[in-house]
Structure 1
Amino acid sequence: MAMTGCMTARGPDGDGVVARGRVAFGHRRLKIIDLSEKAEQPMVDPALGLTIVFNGCIYNYKELRTELEAKGFVFFSDGDTEVISKGWRAWGTELPKKLFGMFAIAIHERDTGRVILIRDRLGIKPLYLSEGAGRLRFASSLPALLRAGGVDTSIDPVGLNAYMTFHSVVPAPRTILSGVRKLPPATLRIYEPDGRTKEEVYWTVSYERSAADVARSFDEWREMVHGSLRTAVARRMVADVPVGVLLSGGVDSSLVVALLAELGHNHIETFSIGFEARGGEEGDEFKYSDLIAERFGTTHHKISIEESRMLDALPGAIDAMSEPMVSHDCVAFYLLSEEVRKHLTVVQSGQGADEIFAGYHWYPKVAAANDPAGAYAKAFFDRDHGRFLAHVTEEYAGADHARAFVEEHFDMPGAPDAIDKALRLDSTVMLVDDPVKRVDNMTMAHSLEARVPFLDHELVELAARIPGEHKLADGGKGVLKDLARQVVPREVVDRPKGYFPVPGLKYLEGKTLEMVRDALSSEAARSRGLFRPDYLAALFADPKGHITPLKGSELWQCALLEVWLQTHGV
């Protein structure tokens, strides 16, 4: 109950616990499909001897249900959860290959005593694990595991190296804590009653291309992407409640709105957020989101956030993080989600397009480099290993784990070109543990489900086959931008790339700087001893002078980690 109570925001509409012998499952429910109590969880199917808990959504559950009914299965509910349990009985380990959606699944087999854990292909839904002393605990959030107790909360040196180097990305299975791991994306793991495990990776994306792929024209690829993305957007309208769109005013979210209109959805609600300008940087992109709202006649909501409210929201945003995430726009998503939840329960979002279609500035550099992994590290890493060693205390000054991870990933087969290697790393690792995790954590903090059409696995597979030159064209995302020009105002496409701007967390001053100073000078921080005192002194002497290659604040990065640890009682 302590674990489920910790996740009330992820599921305010119902809760339950089922315990049988050595196995207990708990669940918090957010009602989106089959709003009746017939779809409550944990779901027990006595006839099949299966108990299941499931977080996410299976977009093709109706098609799978029809297929299962043809096999003779009889259903007692109308949602997607029961489709998973009966699908497990029908197809076993082939089940996840048939699922279109985002999911973290746990199944207990009464007759064998086995427990099965499954995570979706692109890690959209989280699944954290804590093992030890003959027990396994799992949860949708890391803090839920801490609430249960008995977790080794020492800092994982490899995790710290990744956090400080790889822009707060700690690749699965590790986390920042030694005693918590996460099930990697596209993984199915079976726990036998005697503790033995076996697992399989049921999906990978290949960047290898056929002769036909290489010969296909730019225009043909654009039309194929148009069809696939339209299907992805349509799939994510499956719900028994209304679905809106988080509209930043950029190409990606604007395309989602345009394609929904193309599909005949005429009453779309859209939501944008903006902050106070700071350091000469604008804090909103309302002029672009307004263009889209006007073009497609959406019911548009603009949320303007003054700095005082952002500061007030920081503790809540940090508390909502399953792992420390340094990106400034966490608080933007947190506040945006709070407002959206007053209107809707489900939204679509544009995350993933940059990692799938090559929208970031480092892709051309990597493509042209003699040392692709080195070029990637130079552009994306927050610091090289020499600076890392100068910033952390001796206890954590180990090997260059982050750089070794990138080089090993680049060397894997299936991505012949340098650009493909970078895209594969970003779409299957960086995206999972930065943008996607950020959106899941911040939206679910307010009981809001976010769906990401650009991470439809069929669209991801299609995009991987597109030759790199087509994706790098037009300053990046060439195919996608060309599609966008056909369906959204050109002013939205032909402009500098934007982000959720949060100037107050890049240029630390005032109350935000005071909060940061208090955290890093606290007794807890001094006892923990992660960072060298001379490094922290240099950061405080000139907060604006220590900015990472990705335009983040080094001081905020250190402080965010310490505040997160203290927030969760570590």
Structure 2
Amino acid sequence: MCGITAIFAYHSSADPVRREELEKITERMRPRGPDAVGTWISPDRRVALGSRRLAIIDLSDDGNQPMFDVEGELAIVFNGEIYNYPELRASLERGGVHFHSRTDTEVLLQLYRRDGEAMLGLLRGMYAFVVWDARRRRMFVARDPYGIKPLYFADDGSVVRFASGVKPLLAGGVVSPARDPAGVAGFFLTGSVPEPFTICRDVRAVEAGTSFHVEDGRGRGDVRRHYSVAEVFRQADRQRVFAGLMKPEIFLRERVEESVEHHLVADVPVGLFLSAGIDSSALATIASRVSRRPVHTFTLAFQEFQGTEDDEAPLAARLARKIAAPHTTRLVTRDEFHADLPRIFDSMDQPTIDGVNTWFVSKAVHEAGMKVAISGLGGDELFGSYPSFRKVPRMVHLARLPGAARAARVISHHPKAAYVGRFGGTYGGAYLLQRGLFLPDELPAIIGADAAQEGLERLHILDLIDSAITPDPG
């Protein structure tokens, strides 16, 4: 987890980049990258790059950023990891490229020189990066398919600023902290702030699976989508005929094992967040088989749950013993929870109902002297494990039946039942009913009538949900 900064004063009337702002933004990301810091400002003071590094691959100073090519024409700041970088590097070397480090960062830089934005189709990994191309006087900005690595920007019409967090952009002292009613509304509807909105009116997220250029004198160009989860599912649906060529459970196991093996690529020890759930237990078992060294597992135990059926620690410890994994059970007490709350909120870049458990298990990993861990987060979403996911298509089908809305109000006493007729007939609306926190009509009482009206009008929450399943994945 690194932190990156980029500033481009692209309009001729813009003031030159101030080093003080660059350093303030970059320093606010120190927790993301405690191993090294680097900043650079171009001779004409129109472009600036900054980096806080968490060293995972090639721990030497050769991996520090911003990183430049030999000719001094290209520079990059990069947060993430490219899992197939050895294969990409070999391909570049066959073409005559010479490398000066063992980093995946330098591979990205050379890929851009060779392929430009077409490079994104070759990458397997999680990433957010900015390339400064002095030859063309433009920036290239890209984010990974699932949006694992964050990247935000603020563009005032003459200067665009990028950072790995919203709070770092505000720390520079130029970007306004004024709240965005659309981001606030989105949080209360979904439990997080839906992208591209943020909690701040002047800050936007670089959306997952997208890229764009920022041109000198012209500003931001059109956003291009290089990956669509819905499109991948649609292609898979069209190829169902091939599914019978291999047993699904065998195919799935091979793909998951391959993914775990890629995620273990690091020049530092890798840990694993282990609960008693299926996702992390499967990952831990696979990692114990494919890793060249023991994978240390970490489990949270809560004082209130000890000795009850809600305590996951005993079962997790049992699994760790079975796979011979070094294991740590980290007890979290009520006093520690309250003591850590200020730091939790400070580290939470934007409002979210998730993250507290991740804070404490990450704290346990840090206490063990480690800085990389695999997590099973996302498995439930990928495989539709939550019952609410399975209820969405059923609700759509039932809500379209004659009299369904009235029947729902009569039969069910759930507060959301009254909204089945209004929302339940579409996948976006049914998803909001099943997975949402509050409903649009409830927001005026929470954030005020004016903020709710503006926020909902700009947010278009159903359109945002629908965009995630467009094109129809089948």
TM-score, scaled to structure 2: 0.83
Map 1:352-501 → 2, pairs under 5 A: 352-369=378-395, 370=397, 371=425, 372-398=427-453, 399=456, 401=459, 403-406=461-464, 408-409=466-467, 412-416=470-474
Separation of aligned partners in 2, 1:410 and 1:3: 31
Identity of aligned residues (%): 32
| 1:314 alignment counterpart | 341
1:324 offset after TM fit, Å?
1.1
Residue 191, structure 1, aligned to residue 214, structure 2: yes
Question: Is contact 2:428-2:466 (8 Å) kept?
Answer: no
Aligned counterparts of 1:411 and 1:269: Cα–Cα separation in 2 = 37
Among residues 190, 205, 224, which one is paired with 1:182 in the alignment?
205
Equivalent position to 1:203, from 227, 235, 257: 227
Deviates more, 1:387-396 or 1:217-226: 217-226
Partner of 1:290: 317
Counterpart of 2:298 (choices 268, 271, 276) is: 271
Runs of 4+ in 1 over 3 A off after TM superposition: 209-212, 214-219, 280-284, 399-403
Q: Secondary structure at the match of 1:240?
A: coil
Q: 1:148 to 1:264 in 2, by over 3 A?
A: closer
Q: Does 1:153 pair with 2:145?
A: no
Match for 1:341 among 357, 366, 371?
366
**How far did residue 164 of structure 1 move?**
0.9
1:89-128 aligned at under 5 Å gives the runs 89-128=113-152
- Equivalent residue of 2:264, what SS? coil
Pick closer, same or farther for the CA change 1:75–1:403 going to 2, 3 Å: closer
Summarize the Cα distance change of 1:47–1:265 in structure 2 as closer, same or farther, 3 Å threshold: same
Q: Which residue of 1 aligns with 2:28?
A: 6
From the superposition, tell whether residues 210 and 402 of structure 1 become closer, same or farther in structure 2 (CA, over 3 Å).
closer
5 Å-filtered alignment, 1:496-507, equals none
- Cα offset for 1:41? 0.5
Aligned length, in residue pairs: 413
Aligned to 1:484: none
Identify unmatched segments of 5+ residues in structure 2: 1-22, 398-424
2:267 is matched with which residue? 240
SS of 2:381's equivalent?
Answer: helix
Aligned-partner Cα distance in 1 for 2:300–2:461: 35
| CA distances 1:158-201 after superposition (whole Å, capped 9, x unpaired) | 11111111122x22211011011110011111000013322311
Q: Specify the SS of the correspondent of 2:247.
A: helix
Residue identity matched to 1:3: I
Post-superposition shift, 1:3? 1.0
* Change beyond 3 A, Cα 1:218–1:337: farther
Superposition pairs for residues 60-99 of structure 1, below 5 Å? 60-99=84-123
Answer whether contact 1:272 1:303 (CA < 8 A) is retained. Answer: yes
Displacement of 1:129 in angstroms is: 0.5
2:432 aligned counterpart, secondary structure: helix
**Whole-Å Cα distance in 1 between the matches of residues 102 and 226 of structure 2?**
27
Distance 1:133 1:29 in 2: 30
- Aligned residue number for residue 424 of structure 1: none
Q: 2:41 aligns with which of 10, 15, 19?
A: 19
Match of 1:190, SS state, is: strand
Q: Aligned letter for 2:65?
A: Q
Shift of 1:394: 2.3
Normalising by structure 1, we get a TM-score of 0.69
Tell me: higher relative CO, structure 1 or 2? Use CA pairs within 8 A at least 6 residues apart.
1
- SS at 1:72 equivalent: coil
Range that drifts further, 300-309 or 317-326: 317-326
- Kindly state the Cα deviation for residue 44 of structure 1 after the two structures are TM-superposed: 1.5
2-structure distance, mates of 1:411, 1:74: 42
SS of the equivalent of 2:304 reads coil
Does structure 1 retain, via aligned residues, the 8 Å contact 2:158–2:219?
Answer: no
Deviations 1:464-523 (A, max 9, x none): xxxxxxxxxxxxxxxxxxxxxxxxxxxxxxxxxxxxxxxxxxxxxxxxxxxxxxxxxxxx
With over 3 angstroms needed to count, the CA separation of the structure-2 counterparts of 1:296 and 1:66, relative to structure 1, is same
**Matched-pair contact (CA < 8 Å) for 2:280–2:375:** yes
Separation in structure 1 between the aligned mates of residue 170 and residue 308 of structure 2, nearest angstrom: 39
**Contact map agreement 1:313 1:335 (CA 8 A) in 2:** no
What is the DSSP-based 3-state SS (H/G/I as helix, E as strand, rest coil) of the residue aligned with 1:270? strand
Alignment of 1:547-566 (within 5 A): none
In 1, Cα distance between the equivalents of 2:173 and 2:332?
Answer: 37
Q: What secondary structure is seen at the aligned counterpart in 2 of 1:52?
A: strand
**Is the contact between residue 52 and residue 107 of structure 1 (CA under 8 Å) also seen in structure 2?**
yes
Distance 1:415 1:133 in 2: 37
CA distance in 1, matches of 2:175, 2:301: 39
The correspondence for 2:155, drawn from 125, 131, 152, is 131
Match of 1:34 in 2: 58
Q: Deviations over 1:119-152 (max 9, x none)?
A: 1111000001111151111111111100102223
Letter in 1 for 2:201: S
SS at match of 2:286: helix
Paired residues of 2:32 and 2:53 also in contact (CA < 8 A): yes
CA displacement at 1:76 relative to structure 2: 0.9
